[in-house]
Amino acid sequence: MAVMMTAIAEFHDALGSPKRREGWAFQELVTWFFSRDRNWPFSFENLCEHLDLSPECVRHQLRALLRKQHIRVPAEDKDN
C-alpha cells in the first residue's frame, strides 16, 4: 500500500508544479501508471490486484487529472 500511496502523492504533487511535470521522474511515474506490465512484483497492475483496486478506475481518474492540466495522456501499453 505504501508504494501506491507514494506514487499517487508524487503524482498529485507534480501536477501542482509545472517544473516537476516536465521532469523525468514524473514521466516515469505516468508511464508506470499506464503500463500493463505484470513482470515486476511492484508493477501498477500487480499492486492494484493485491490492493483489490481496479486499474482502469484508477487510470480513469488519472486521465481526468492529466487532461485538466492539459498534459498529454500516454497511449496504453497493450503489449504486456
- The model's pTM is 0.85
How much is the pLDDT for 51?
Answer: 97
The Cα–Cα gap between 64 and 70 comes to 10
Residues in the chain predicted with pLDDT less than 50, given as ranges, are 77, 79-80
- Percent of the chain that is helix, strand, coil (3-state, to 5): 65, 0, 35
How much is the pLDDT for 76?
Answer: 56
**Burial readout 65-76 (b: 16 or more C-beta within 10 A, e: otherwise):** ebeeeebeeeee
Q: Return the sign of the alpha-carbon dihedral for residues 57, 59, 63, 65.
A: positive
pLDDT tens-place string over residues 37-60 = 999 999 999 999 999 999 999 999
The Cα–Cα gap between 25 and 40 comes to 18
Boundaries of every domain in the chain: 2-68
How much is the pLDDT for 23?
Answer: 86
